[in-house]
Structure formats: C-alpha cells, structure tokens
Structure 1
Amino acid sequence: MKLKNTAIILTGVLALTAVAPIAASAESSTGQITQNSSSSVTQKSAVEAVKPYVQVKDGVLSLKEVPESIYNQYNLSDLQKHFDELNELSKSGKITVNSDLSIKDNTISLNAEYGSWTYHWWGYDRKFTDYQTKQAIDYYNTVAGGGTLISGATAWYPPVSGISGSVAGYFALFAARMSANNNGNGVYVSVSWAAVFDVEPL
C-alpha cells in the first residue's frame, strides 16, 4: 500500500514537471501575441502618440527628440528599422515621402486598390478581396503549422520586423482574425512597425 501511494505521488510530480513549462510557455506566448494583435484603438493610439516625434527632411524619415519613455514603450527601434527601409526606397525613387508624412508609391498605378501594401510612416495597410483573404489565411495557417515564413512574401504579409514571441501563434491568430472578419467581401488589414495588426471587414 505504501509503495502504491509513493508511485502515485511520483507520477503526479512527474506530470506536473512536464506540464508546468508547457503552460508557462503558452501563457508567455499568448501575452506576446496579444500585444501584437491588439485592437485598432491600441494601434491608432500608438500612432498618435508617436507621430509628433516623426519628421521628414529631404524625403527622409527620422525621429526627433523622443523621450526615452516613449521610445521604449512603443518599441521605436523597430520603427527606426521601418524608416531605414522606407528611406532606401525613397533614395532609389521607388517611393516619395512627403512633408505631411504621406507616402506615394511610384511603382504602382494610383488606381490600384487591391493586391499590394500601401506604405505609411507607421507601417502598411491594404485591402484583400474575398479570394485573396482565403489565400492569405491558407498561407498564415501554413506558417502557424510549422511552415517557413517566406522572406519577401509581401503579397500576404508586409516586411515589418517587430514580431515577437510565438510566430506560429501570431499567424494562427492573424488567420483567425481574417477569417472572422471576412463576410465574403474581403478585409482591410493594417500592420504597424511593431507588427500590431488590425483586421476589419469590407
């Protein structure tokens, strides 16, 4: 009887030892995913908080006199990486950065409404048709299932570098949000410099 009780206790300890790290990992991962997929209000408030510290000189974006608390709170090191990419495109003539912070893509038709990401100082946005939404969902689910996030696959995801935590969890949530918001008319998606995304139905 004593041996049986000892075996039960040891089994319980082993089970807890195996499950605890998985639960902790899931909790941590979920927290980071939530941060990266917050509502449009959070995304918009971050953009509004940072906008006063953004400037354009000679077609080049930069940050000006940002308080350290703002810099850290909004992960502006990733925004600087975004600026570096945009500034390279601006110098090569592929885009034009205007003094009002708007950006003109010189490589596509002005009438293009679907099929490409629109550049903004804060990130990217685009509209997906119903068919494109379903293709994007398939791609995100493939990544979430262990597939590789294809570098340069900007048809489905813009070139932002701020994804933290579980990439699989992030893209599973992205796919779920797109699916939930697609009512047969497609979706509007915006992704900020910190990979915070918002999905709205069209």
Structure 2
Amino acid sequence: MKFKNTAVILTGVLALTAVAPLAASAAPTSIEVKEVKQATPDAETFSAIKDIEKFIKLDGDQYVLDSAAKEVVSEKVFNNYSKAVESVNEQIKNGTFEVKNGQLVVNPNYTTYNPNIYGNWYWWGYAITFTNQEVKEQVQALKNTQSTSSLVFAIMAAVPGLQGTALPAAIIEANLAVLIDRFEANNHGRGVTLNLHVGYYDMTSN
C-alpha cells in the first residue's frame, strides 16, 4: 500500500495569485514561534523519495517503513526515512495529524503550530527552496503515490529539524492536482520556492 497524503515543505515563494488556503477547520488559533535552526537538506535523502515511497505503508493509524527498502537505498537514507516515519507517527499520537479514511490529514482540533524548521522565517511565514531536479523528483513521487504525504516524508527525512513541527500541515491539506500543477508551472529550470504561512502556502519560481 502506498502511503497517503505526504506533506513536505517546499522552499520558495508562490505568486500571490496562487494562494492555497487550508480548510478553515484546520487553521491554528495560536502560533508558537521558536528560534529557527539553519541546516542544509541532504540531497541524497531528498532524492531517494522516488525509490523509497513504495515502501512506506499505512498499518492501521500508523506508518511503517518496510525493511525491504534497505535493498534499494543506502543505510543512511533508510535511517533518515525511518526517523521521518517515527516523527509522523508521533504527531499522529499527539494529535497534530490523524489518519482518516486511509489518508494523512490535519487534526482540525489541533491549535498550536511550531515553525521550528529549516529555511528562512519571515514575518509572513516560512520558506524552503527546491532545485530543478528536486522539483522533478517530488512531482514524480506525488504522481506515483497520488498523495501529498510523500512530500512530507521526503522533507522530514532530508531536514531533521522539521521533525516534530506542524508546518507541513499546509502541504497535507493541499489539493494534490493543484500542488503538482504549481510545481510544474513555477519551475522554469531553476527550481521553486515554497512559502508556508499559517494556514496556507504559496509558491514562486527561483
């Protein structure tokens, strides 16, 4: 079974005309802002989503990473995705996310976001940048899984500082077709930047 609804935080700024709001019920009522930790996403781990996505499966209301993935990715990549899966499962347990009808979704009763992740924190939100190749790989993974969850796992695996935060909620709640279209429309060979705001995201060309 392919994992459902991957949330991953993209680096970039989407045009103001391309704003995708979350469902009103999922919008937080308070924001916990902490010091932003700077880090460089691991390129090998981020790109590995195309090989490992089919090994991330839903078992009840928890995700599992099939050990068979060790045969197609390095030990480092496997361990990074294992931690990402553990992080998502922990957020399901603490009520940040939930599984509904086999889909990873935002818990509408969750009210506090912690934007303590890699990227740049601005007064309007958080930004993460993707290269041309990373955009292509993430788009393919989204098409393969038909779920935004693949992006979430890739981001959490490649950017450990993102684990335990709720900002990927904007991606989880995004319309899959629209997300893919915005990736492709804004990537002109230079990659894109994804801006995460409280309750919605936007994307722009690099």
Q: More relative contact order in 1 or in 2 (CA 8 Å, sep 6+)?
A: 2
Q: If you compute each CA radius of gyration, which structure gives the higher value, 1 or 2?
A: 1
Which structure: greater strand fraction? Answer: 2
When the two structures are superposed, what TM-score results if normalisation uses the length of structure 1? 0.39
How high is the TM-score relative to the length of structure 2? Answer: 0.39
